[in-house]
Amino acid sequence: MTEYSKIYNPLNTFKIKGLGEKTLDKLRSMGIETLYDLIYYFPRAYEDRTNFKDIINLRQDEYAVVKGRIVGIENRKLGYRKNITKARVSDPTGFLEVVWFNMPHLKYSLKVGEEYIFIGNIKRGYNFQMVSPEYKRVEEEKEFKGEILPIYGLTKSMKQSTLRKLIEGALNNYEGYFKENIPAEILKEYRIMERERALREIHFPKSTKGAEGAKNRFAVEELLVLQMGIQEKRYLGDIANKEQYKLQDNKHLVKRFLEGLHFQLTGAQKRVVTEIYRDLNQGRITNRLIQGDVGSGKTMVAMIVLLYMVENSYQGVMMAPTEILAVQHYLSIGRIFEKMGIRTALLTGSVKGKAKEKLLEEIKDGQVDIVIGTHSLIEDNVEFHKLGLIVIDEQHRFGVVQRKKLREKGVLANLLVMSATPIPRSLALSIYGDLDVSVIDELPPGRKPIKTKWIDNEPDLEKAYTFIEKQLAKGRQAYFVAPLIEESEKMATKSATELHREIEERFGNYKVGILHGRMRNSEKDEIMGEFKENNIQIMVSTTVIEVGVNVPNATVMVISSAERFGLSALHQLRGRIGRGEHASYCFLLSNTENDSSKSRLRVMEETTDGFEIAEEDLRLRKSGEIFGTKQSGVSDLKFVDIVHDVKTIKMVRDLSKEYLKENLGRIENIYLKEDIKRKFMNIENN
């Protein structure tokens, strides 16, 4: 073992203050096992305590630090066993309402007349509020040196302050172990922050600029490791074809399926299908990313390839990111397939006991051709008779390693990954280096562009409602999306329930359903099924409908508090309408005063093109607002945001092609080599 590789040793072999057995357990449950894991557990955000915000300048949705005096405090009941504590806080510029839920004791512990510091999110109800903030009494607070504090993603049992201290301790004792792994010339040429300094800055930045520089450095580092690894190993086609296979080319099933459709495939769909056929007919394994904007017909392509495999007596699997979607696919795809005599089954976490045993048996015996399901398809002991193709959604965030494991489940390791994230093809290739890329760059004909309108006042909302009524009268259906509430599922549900009541009152002639995250899966499926069948005309929902839902007859979407959503989330949401022959309409409700929110809403009014929206997103996002790949869906990349870091990705791609290929062997690059080895170790062990 080299000295350097110690960073990958288990945490209990290191001396860090506060690191006892219990803490180790908690860390393990957060996926932190080694020194590297701990030090590379980067904050998801920062709390800038270097400047207090004047109350008068507060903005909707901002995370703010306010210093003010409590001038009044009261408790109120909100219903059975629920209550709210409201404090009125003043600073020299104005008043702010600060609220907490179900914490009545605060009325007694917070002192009227005293000065406090409040840290939290600003929401706008009737007036500006800070909801459930952290607070400190100014008098007692020695910790406030005016600093930028890291905020980590935590599990329940871990405290911010504990993790901060652990990381600080680890850095103090072992910083030196993290030798520079990016070649010196590159650091210099691209002005990249050195590793040790970046580790300090990412956790405990001296300035927001410092944190930015550090983030950029780790994005480069991560991309280098990934790309070099992929290039070195050439993952394309490295999995042996366990069975000599030749596929029959007559495609009876596919032809029958296509004849039954009431539309033609688009040129782009045909091209992509041909690309896949070409792999399969030559006995090559297909391992492909299919990229296409929302509603471009990716699922259709997957269905065709599944049929082709069945025709050749292989089984196929389609894995959906959520149970709702799995059920939906099962209902729509399954119905068509069953009619064609293809045995289709649904396997999700809800299938249990005897039913499950039976199903597993049938899958193993080959009595089932196509299995549609969720993650449980691979997690459980599901054995296949002769699995030929797996279709997954990019939402699964599988990385190179997991993708390889998946492929090994099959007799043939064919894998299709579906993605609606709009990234240019050349970049997609360099990020998903182990996959070929096909792009569906054309929408089905006859799609009328979705008309989008931003509504910021009551009279216009009333007009919109009248318009929606007309749409409903024409037989169309509508989605109403409740405000995004991140604090808790409970509050999100509450806001959806309130909206539901309001919509039921307003649209009394129609059936209104509700969908939220706290419902049981079976309830969700049932409601979604009813909506699909048009037994329900209006669906009120939290964002659970964001991906994949397909009800072409739904042509109206109303999004409440639209300013709370990011551009790509809005695009995904809106992509649920405009999926059929009828014109569709999206209403964005918001009375935001925030300039960047306003710009987002305008972009939504102006375009429906996913690429354009991604570009605008990039332009509008304050740099570093979002950390990591929450949006990218590529689990290999934790620190890179594929929309935001396009330039960095390009740079590293060029680098790894030219410079590094030749220089990786040089002695000074041993650390990078070690990191690449670690990252890909699982694969090598197989």
Ligand X SMILES: Nc1ncnc2c1ncn2[C@@H]1O[C@H](COP(=O)(O)OP(=O)(O)OP(=O)(O)O)[C@@H](O)[C@H]1O
Contacting residues toward ligand X, per CB under 6 A:
263, 265-266, 269, 292, 294-300, 420, 444, 548, 550, 552, 575, 579
Minimum CB separation from ligand X for residue 572, in Å?
A: 8
- Provide the pairing of β-strand 82-91 with 63-79: antiparallel
Nearer to ligand X, 225 or 577 (CB): 577
Nearer to ligand X, 203 or 579 (CB): 579
Nearer to ligand X, 120 or 548 (CB): 548
First to last CA, the chain: 21
Residue 90, token pair as written in the block = 């003043």
- CA pair distance 373, 346, nearest whole angstrom: 6
- CA pair distance 394, 406, nearest whole angstrom: 14
Minimum CB separation from ligand X for residue 366, in Å?
A: 27
Nearer to ligand X, 217 or 532 (CB): 532
Nearer to ligand X, 151 or 336 (CB): 336
Minimum CB separation from ligand X for residue 351, in Å?
A: 23
Minimum CB separation from ligand X for residue 340, in Å?
A: 16
- CA pair distance 485, 561, nearest whole angstrom: 10
Minimum CB separation from ligand X for residue 148, in Å?
A: 39
* Burial (CB count <10 Å: 0-12, 13-18, 19+), residue 426: exposed
In angstroms, what is the C-alpha Rg of the chain? 27
Question: Helices marked H in 236-352 — which ranges?
Answer: 252-260, 267-281, 298-311, 323-329, 335-339
Nearer to ligand X, 456 or 581 (CB): 581
- CA pair distance 408, 394, nearest whole angstrom: 18
Nearer to ligand X, 300 or 492 (CB): 300
Contacts of 278 (CB under 8 A, 6+ apart): none
Nearer to ligand X, 133 or 422 (CB): 422
Is residue 493 within 8 A of residue 474, CB to CB? The reply is: no
Residue 97 has, within 13 A of its CA and on its CB side, a CA count of 14
Closest by Cα among 229, 184, 133, 162 to 27: 162
Is residue 478 within 8 A of residue 556, CB to CB? The reply is: yes
- Provide the pairing of β-strand 387-393 with 414-419: parallel
Minimum CB separation from ligand X for residue 681, in Å?
A: 34
Minimum CB separation from ligand X for residue 620, in Å?
A: 23
- CA pair distance 477, 473, nearest whole angstrom: 9
Contacts of 233 (CB under 8 A, 6+ apart): 680, 683
Nearer to ligand X, 550 or 599 (CB): 550
Minimum CB separation from ligand X for residue 60, in Å?
A: 29
Question: Helices marked H in 486-633 — which ranges?
Answer: 489-506, 521-532, 567-574, 595-606, 610-620
Contacts of 45 (CB under 8 A, 6+ apart): 63, 151, 627
Nearer to ligand X, 181 or 266 (CB): 266
Minimum CB separation from ligand X for residue 440, in Å?
A: 7
Minimum CB separation from ligand X for residue 53, in Å?
A: 39
Q: What stretches of 27-155 adopt beta strand conformation (E)?
A: 45-48, 63-79, 82-91, 94-101, 115-124, 128-137, 148-151
The rounded Cα 636 to chain-centroid distance in angstroms is 14
Minimum CB separation from ligand X for residue 329, in Å?
A: 9
Cβ neighbours, 10 Å, residue 430: 22
Nearer to ligand X, 53 or 582 (CB): 582
